Amino acid sequence: MKNTMAYSRKPRPAETPARPSGKDGLPGQVVLVLQGGGALGAYQLGCYQALHEAGIEPDWVIGTSIGAINASLIAGNPPERRMHALQTFWQHMQRSAPAPSPFDWFGLGNMAANLATVWRGIPDFFTPNLHALRGSTASLGVESAAYYSTAPLRETLGTLVDFDYLCECRTRMTVGAVNVVTGAMRYFDTRKERLGVDHVMASGALPPAFGAIRIDGEPYWDGGIYSNTPIEAVLDDKPRRDSLIFAVNVWHQQGPEPESIWQVMGRQKDIQYASRADSHIARQKQIHRLRHVIRELHKQIPAGRQDDPKVKELAGWGCGTTMHVAHLVAPRVDGEDHTKDIDFTPAGVLARRQAGYADTRRMIERAPWERSGTDPIEGVIEHV
């Protein structure tokens, strides 16, 4: 894949201040949270497109797996180049659907194209790892013990992401990966350290398809096998700030009761990768409510006691920040099944992109975060 973008390497300020609370009618910093989901990440392209056209650029992008890749394409480019980078990436990800096949007779229309992806990979993303032909018990090392090589992705990201620009943290980026040895989730953050292509690839190293990526000598896999919805990264962030969080989900936590083994496989995958979003938010709603309660209680303490060191220490557990969470959930596409995350057909990519664009435009037009009447004790407010 040839380099399609040219970058200026002129010195830039270390960090651009994030959008202050209330600017442009938005209730704080804008955070974009992107799940992992392979081809389902095309929905995220549409979501960002709608935000971009509305003049809403994220101050912070958080992603796992394909969400981390999309996050790097956003944060690793200035606003005027982001759509070009995203569109170029997704154009190179598409695999044309083959001619009609017997799969169509059984209602398995995308299966032929998806099987082609399994056998041949995607040239600018991943290709078959010939070492895997030695068998599943062959000792290949954690970085090569996989069915595919992601060396093409390294080159693709190198042409589309300006990692020098990324590390200037004009738009903060956080990506999640899990340590293969300790099993601990780690969030790599441009506010705290310099990130490169390895950090993005580690976040998308889903086993056993892709091999682990080493960072500082430690092997890491796709953060989605631990928690595929990295919203806790913003809800646990310190110092806390008022935020408008666009939480983009591509898997469905709820769904109909499956009736066949084929449907069971799809439902199992949805549940596994929708993961802990609801529980994270429920826990944070409780915690933020308690913080607001502490703040209100502190106001009731006589002024003469408020400077007492012990009182000040306890009051420090309180805060008045508000987190608005705007949920965007990718709709089901006709004919999709448990292989939908490798549906890189042009039709599949386009359908999901259009859905993300339409859903996000509706959310922006509704602007539910502007409504009055919110309970001042509530710290996390959800919008669906």
Name the burial class of residue 211, with classes exposed (0-12), middle (13-18) and buried (19+) by CB atoms within 10 angstroms of its CB.
buried
Mean pLDDT computed over 232-244: 90
| Contact criterion met (CB below 8 Å) for 121 and 129 | no
Does 239 sit behind a cis peptide bond, omega within 30 degrees of 0 on the bond before it?
yes
Q: Give the tokens for residue 3.
A: 């380099």
Ranking 36-40, 205-209, 313-317, 370-374 by mean pLDDT, the lowest is 370-374
Residue 342 identity: I
* Per-residue model confidence (pLDDT) at position 33: 97
Can you name the residues that pair with 220 across neighbouring β-strands? 179, 213
* 336-364 mean pLDDT: 94
Mean pLDDT within 256-275: 87
99, 114, 111, 36: which is closest to 342 by C-alpha?
A: 114
pLDDT digits over 66-99, tens only? 999 999 999 999 999 999 999 999 999 997 555 4
The yes-or-no verdict on residue 13 having pLDDT over 60 is no
CA 169 → CA 76, 189, 234, 322, distances in Å? 9, 9, 16, 24
DSSP H stretches of helix in the chain? 42-53, 66-75, 79-93, 102-105, 111-120, 151-160, 163-167, 197-203, 232-235, 261-274, 277-300, 309-315, 346-366
Q: Is the pLDDT of residue 6 over 50?
A: no
pTM for this entry: 0.86
The answer on pLDDT for 296 being more than 80 is yes
Q: Which of 344, 300, 354 is nearest to 121 (CA)?
A: 344
Integer Cα distance of 86 and 67 in angstroms: 12
Average pLDDT across the chain, whole number: 87
Check residue 285 and give its pLDDT.
82
- DSSP designation for 238: S
pLDDT of residue 15: 35
Count CB atoms within 10 A of the CB of residue 13. 9
d(CA 328, CA 319) in angstroms, rounded, equals 27
In the predicted model, what is the mean pLDDT of residues 308-328?
A: 89
pLDDT top residue among 312 and 221: 221
Check residue 104 and give its pLDDT: 46
Strand pairing class (29-34; 243-249): parallel
236 vs 157, residue with greater confidence? 157
Burial of 11 from C-beta contacts in 10 A (0-12 / 13-18 / 19+) = exposed
Cβ(213)–Cβ(220) under 8 Å? yes
Taking the C-alpha atoms of residue 215 and residue 238, their distance in angstroms, rounded to an integer, is 24
179, β-bridge pairs: 220
Region 16-44: what's the mean pLDDT? 79
Residue 167: which of 190, 144, 146, 184 has the closest Cα? 190
Query: How do beta strands 185-189 and 213-215 pair?
Result: unpaired
| Omega cis (within 30) before 309 | no
Give the pLDDT confidence score for residue 292 in this predicted structure. 86
Residue 247, pLDDT score: 95
The single-letter DSSP state of residue 28 is: S
Lowest-confidence region among 76-90, 115-129, 265-279, 331-345: 265-279
pLDDT for the residue 14: 35
CB proximity list for 38: less than 8 A, separation 6 or greater = 65, 66, 341, 342
**pLDDT top residue among 380 and 47:** 47
Give me the mean pLDDT over the 202-207 stretch.
Answer: 96
Cα distance between residue 304 and residue 292, in whole Å: 22
**What pLDDT score was predicted for residue 4?**
43
- CA torsion 196-198-200-204 (nearest 10°) is 180
